Chains A and B, each alone.
Chain A
Amino acid sequence: MKTENQKAWLFVLPVLALVAFNALIPMMTVVNYSVQETFGDNVFFWQGLDWFQQILRSERFHDALGRQFLFTFLILVIEVPLGIAIALSMPRKGFWVPVCLVLMALPMLIPWNVVGAMWNIFTLPDIGLLGYALNHVLGINYDMTQDPVAAWVTIVTMDVWHWTSLVVLLSYAGLVSIPDAYYQAAKIDGASNWAVFRFIQLPKMKTVLTIAILLRFMDSFNIYTEPFVLTGGGPGNSTTLLSIDLVKIALGQFDLGPAAAMSLIYFAITLLVSWLFYTLMTKDDLN
């Protein structure tokens, strides 16, 4: 006999309360700001969707969004193949496995603002090891506080240094889970190294790679701390990514309404791209 009651809902309540406090309530506050204008003193004026229109039409937002997509695109294009390549060349067993794994994990353990500060000092033209070597030993004119290209090269390199490990570790986990028998089958068929990669390793890594790319997309799309510490968005606006711009509007100019509207648009874009990517990648597995 099955008795029907609503008691199961009780078990959901704690999670619901938790989600309400850490997501729903802050989010609804932002929604509240995004449709009103305030000058402090808890006085609000209804604005409707004006802020959203203003943000979506603003050239400044378009530029920041463009820079944001460029940044994410660059780091994905570098980190994913590089991460796979490093994972492929790591040993599968023996003494060097734990050594490699710890070395790989090190960059990820460093606090984000420390990473920014490290690379800032590292690349200073007069006293930084890299900056000095490039300028005074190799004779390359490199100063990321003056040159936008140098600034971009630096933030991309920094992110690659910081986060390629994540792709490496996830790919490596995927690789070591492939049974030897697959490699034997390939050997018996006489498959080339490329064929082994294309038809065994890559398909078997697909799930972890999907996760890795998704994580790297979300993290890099929302990146703030490291470029803020490293370049502060400069020189000019050349490395002002979305989140840096957002903080400038919210805390620099104290335009809470437009900043709230921009936050929601920003969030929607992140969500939409993640959802599209995940749906496309897992489409095959569902049917």
Chain B
Amino acid sequence: MPESLIKMALELKNVTKRVGAVEHIKETSLVLDSGHFNVLLGATGSGKTSLIKLMAGLDPMASGSVWMDGQDVTRLSTQKRNISLVHQFFINYPHMTVFDNIASPLKVAGMAKSEIEGRVEEAADILQLRPMLHRRPHELSGGQQQRCALARAIAKESRAVFLDEPLANLDYKLREELRDQLPDLFAGRGAVVVYATSEPEEALLLGGKTALMRDGRVTQFGATADIYRNPANVEAARVFSDPPINTAEIQKEGNTARLTRDVSWLLDGAAADLRDGTYTIAIRPHHVLPFAGAGPAVRIAGRVQVTELSGSESSAHFDLGLPGSNDSWVSLSAGVHPYEVGEMHDFYMDPSAAYVFAPDGSRVA
């Protein structure tokens, strides 16, 4: 039976983690499958690494259980869980050659020499390490060192592979290159792949499923594109946006949503049926443009504070002029737009692209 047909699953049931009196991971349940990337997306300190350590058995949990393929592994040692972990830092045994580094878990497992050689060479070929097999890690570039760590995970053929921000310490070019290769590396290997990152863009590029994390809690879990399109709460919308999503309070009266004294628009659909009152809207920067688009657009005048022009995109941070608020919004548009810092500029927002949240943060439209 081809390996790709074997489905693996990693399941967390009501796990929590405590350090002293502090709850690092609040009660979390999650089912992660093989066959696609499972991304843990959250800011630094949101609990991604803590959760990975619980799944890997590196840290004890306060309560709950971990299951792999229907087997309770909660009490199983890290080694017996048969997993791999690739760290943000390039962790290799310093005084072993690349070959020995890749082979180390296989040797510990007592595998036959010929089989070890076969597996190491296969992994080295996939990661283009063949010419470096007899070098030591410190003789390799950062990208090669991380590929060596990845090769060890691949050669081991473990049930679960944890990638904890593996690209964070690579420079831009190498990061892109390796990120493009990653999904192929693990495709058809039957392992549950968990990938932690703080960058929304990486989650979108790697596809699969995403679990949004904040303050030691999984706030939303599902297909990555779905979560991007339908954030369940204002935090999910914030986490999953780079540059940060624009938020502001609006007053709803009848069919009208009012942002400032001068800016208001007519609501339709679910938003129109809401009770009158104060709501929060969130709108992604690329739905706020410096020109009127084809669809309905609400004009907002703002004072330009900061502009960033890259070759393909222009972004402008502008002051909404809301009393008592220092919030600025960001407009992100294709091409190069001339902005004068400090000048008033008109921006056009597509209200149908805005998410509406109740005061408690839950999504209502």
Interface residues, chain A, with chain B CB atoms under 8 Å away = 179, 181-182, 184-185, 187-191, 195, 199-200, 203-204
Interchain CA distance A199-B83 in the complex, whole Å: 20
Rounded to whole Å, the gap between the CB of A49 and the closest CB of chain B is 46
Rounded to whole Å, the gap between the CB of B326 and the closest CB of chain A is 39
B105 at the interface (CB under 8 A from A): yes
Is there contact, CB below 8 Å, between B93 and A200? yes
Rounded to whole Å, the gap between the CB of B155 and the closest CB of chain A is 12
8 Å CB contact of A189 from B79, B80, B94: B79
Is there contact, CB below 8 Å, between B105 and A203? no
Is there contact, CB below 8 Å, between A188 and B79? yes
| A184 in contact with B79 given A189-B105, A199-B93, A203-B95 (CB within 8 Å) | no
Rounded to whole Å, the gap between the CB of B363 and the closest CB of chain A is 38
B252 at the interface (CB under 8 A from A): no
Size category, B interface: 20 to 34
B96: chain A residues at CB < 8 Å are 199
Is there contact, CB below 8 Å, between A185 and B91? yes
| A181 in contact with B89 given A187-B78, A190-B105, A190-B108 (CB within 8 Å) | yes
Interchain CA distance A204-B93 in the complex, whole Å: 10
A182: chain B residues at CB < 8 Å are 91
Is there contact, CB below 8 Å, between B95 and A188? no
A191's nearest neighbour on chain B, judged by CB, is B108
B95: chain A residues at CB < 8 Å are 199, 203
Q: Which of B84, B91, B104 has the most CB of A within 10 A?
A: B91
Interchain CA distance A182-B96 in the complex, whole Å: 14
B109's nearest neighbour on chain A, judged by CB, is A190
B87's nearest neighbour on chain A, judged by CB, is A181
B223: chain A residues at CB < 8 Å are none
Interchain CA distance A182-B94 in the complex, whole Å: 10
Interchain CA distance A200-B93 in the complex, whole Å: 6
Is there contact, CB below 8 Å, between A188 and B87? no
8 Å CB contact of A187 from B58, B93, B94: B58
8 Å CB contact of B108 from A184, A189, A200: A189
Interchain CA distance A188-B53 in the complex, whole Å: 11
A179: chain B residues at CB < 8 Å are 89, 91
A-facing residues in B30-62 (Cβ within 8 Å): 53, 56, 58
A-facing residues in B222-249 (Cβ within 8 Å): none
Is there contact, CB below 8 Å, between B58 and A184? yes
Interchain CA distance A187-B58 in the complex, whole Å: 8
Interchain CA distance A96-B95 in the complex, whole Å: 32
Is there contact, CB below 8 Å, between B94 and A203? yes
Interchain CA distance A184-B105 in the complex, whole Å: 13
A-facing residues in B58-97 (Cβ within 8 Å): 58, 77-80, 83-85, 87, 89, 91, 93-96
Is there contact, CB below 8 Å, between A188 and B84? yes
A184: chain B residues at CB < 8 Å are 53, 56, 58, 85, 87, 91
A195's nearest neighbour on chain B, judged by CB, is B108
| A188 in contact with B89 given A199-B95, A203-B95, A204-B94 (CB within 8 Å) | no
A287's nearest neighbour on chain B, judged by CB, is B139
Rounded to whole Å, the gap between the CB of B352 and the closest CB of chain A is 47
Interchain CA distance A190-B56 in the complex, whole Å: 12
8 Å CB contact of B79 from A181, A190, A203, A204: A190
Is there contact, CB below 8 Å, between A189 and B104? yes
B90's nearest neighbour on chain A, judged by CB, is A181
Interchain CA distance A82-B80 in the complex, whole Å: 34
Subset of 23 A-B contacts with CB under 8 Å? A179-B89, A181-B87, A181-B91, A184-B85, A184-B87, A184-B91, A185-B85, A185-B91, A185-B93, A187-B58, A187-B78, A188-B56, A188-B58, A188-B79, A189-B104, A189-B105, A190-B77, A190-B80, A190-B108, A190-B109, A191-B108, A199-B93, A199-B95
B79: chain A residues at CB < 8 Å are 187-190
| A188 in contact with B85 given A181-B91, A199-B93, A199-B96 (CB within 8 Å) | yes
Interchain CA distance A179-B87 in the complex, whole Å: 11
A191: chain B residues at CB < 8 Å are 104, 108
